[in-house]
């Protein structure tokens, strides 16, 4: 009888431990996957508002199984840091613009000055077969997945010297992103380009290390660059984008249902961001004018002509077929 009693107690103990173990596993499985999204903009920028909306949509569409935490203002690092983080899985999502060209060379074509005629030309490409193919090729080469292209306002020049034509750029030290197309383009237009992380731009303008910079109006305003610049020159030299990117390592860790939810959320967040970006550009321009910036309207044709030889040379280097495809869309 004692042996039977001991056996019974042993069996009950094993069953209880098994139940506790199962309960613990269930609890872990029920915990949400917490993913991180980084970008370099401030919390007042459309990028951040779009990112927050994306996070809300992901949580809603996955019924809470995936949570996205948003880190603005380069908290997770520069554009390059974010891309490298996605490649090794330490960053899950990021909003990145032209710096992606340093990881997948054909993206450099999209950074060529005066490549796109206007925002409609840009949209026709990025939301068509060309943009889809570019993202798929990038994924295969880099391990970074393109979810969506978000639109931006055109890049404009700000400076402390009155600039009305390329000849006025002689000797002007201009901050540019570390992208060959930007460096070579501004050299061709007569300036002295200096690659620099955006976080250093304000202080460098303030101390005279550089004289000028170029960015979409809302970007310039949110960083308060107009406090240390006198002129905003309407060059419209790049109609650009920012991409919502995702680490493919992270993507593969999600269930199929979660993957679908993330992709759906990316589309809806794109539409949300695109709706507000141009409205915010206008508001930002009005604010800068009220605070003392003088807007200079220029004949853009001399600037456009100045970069054509550079564009042709870099098209041969990066991806002539892609360049010609985009040019053909002008017709």
The per-residue pLDDT of the chain, averaged, comes to 91
User: How far apart (Å, rounded) are the C-alpha atoms in residues 146 and 96?
Assistant: 10
- Helix (H) or strand (E) run with residue 291 in it: none
Per the structure, the count of domains in the chain is 2
The reported pTM is: 0.85
Grouping H, G, I as helix, E, B as strand and the rest as coil, residue 39 is coil
85 with 228, same domain: the answer is no
144: in domain: yes
Once rounded to an integer, what is the mean pLDDT over residues 272-290?
Answer: 95
CATH number for the domain that contains residue 181: 3.40.190.170
Range of the domain at 225: 155-239+286-328
55 with 195, same domain: the answer is no
Query: How high is the pLDDT of residue 331?
Result: 65
Query: How high is the pLDDT of residue 29?
Result: 54
Confidence of residue 24 (pLDDT cuts 50, 70, 90): very low
223 with 244, same domain: the answer is no
Residue 111 has pLDDT above 70, yes or no: yes
Q: What's the burial of 44, exposed, middle or buried (CB within 10 Å: 0-12/13-18/19+)?
A: middle
161 with 273, same domain: the answer is no
* End-to-end Cα spacing for the chain: 95
pLDDT in tens, 200-238: 999 999 999 999 999 999 989 989 999 999 999 999 999
């Amino acid at each position: 009888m004692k042996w039977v009693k001991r056996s019974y107690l042993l069996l009950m103990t094993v069953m209880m431990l098994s139940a506790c173990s199962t309960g613990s596993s269930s609890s872990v499985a029920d915990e949400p996957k917490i993913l991180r999204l980084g970008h370099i903009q401030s919390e007042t920028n459309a990028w951040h508002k779009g990112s927050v909306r994306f996070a809300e949509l992901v949580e809603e569409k996955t019924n809470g199984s995936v949570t996205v935490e948003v880190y603005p203002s380069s908290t997770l690092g520069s554009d390059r840091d974010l891309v490298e983080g996605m490649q090794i899985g330490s960053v899950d999502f990021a909003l990145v613009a032209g710096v992606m060209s340093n990881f997948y060379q054909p993206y450099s074509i999209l950074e060529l000055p005066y490549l796109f005629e206007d925002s409609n030309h840009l949209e026709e490409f990025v939301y068509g077969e060309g943009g889809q193919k570019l993202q798929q090729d990038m994924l295969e080469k880099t391990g970074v997945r393109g979810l969506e292209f978000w639109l931006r306002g055109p890049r404009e020049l700000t400076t402390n010297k009155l600039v009305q034509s390329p000849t006025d750029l002689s000797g002007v030290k201009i901050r540019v992103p570390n992208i060959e197309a930007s460096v070579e383009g501004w050299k061709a237009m007569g300036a002295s380009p200096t690659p620099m992380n955006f976080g250093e731009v304000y202080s460098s303008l303030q101390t005279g290390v550089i004289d000028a910079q170029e960015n979409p109006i809302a970007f310039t305003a949110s960083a308060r660059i107009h406090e240390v610049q006198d002129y905003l020159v309407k060059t419209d030299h790049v109609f650009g984008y920012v991409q919502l990117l995702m680490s493919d390592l992270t993507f593969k860790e999600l269930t199929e249902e979660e993957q679908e939810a993330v992709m759906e959320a990316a589309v809806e967040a794109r539409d949300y961001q695109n709706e507000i970006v141009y409205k915010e550009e206008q508001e930002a321009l009005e604010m800068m004018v009220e605070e003392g910036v003088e807007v200079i309207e220029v004949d853009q044709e001399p600037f456009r002509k100045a970069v054509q030889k550079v564009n042709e040379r870099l098209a041969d280097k990066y991806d002539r077929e892609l360049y010609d495809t985009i040019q053909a869309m002008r017709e």
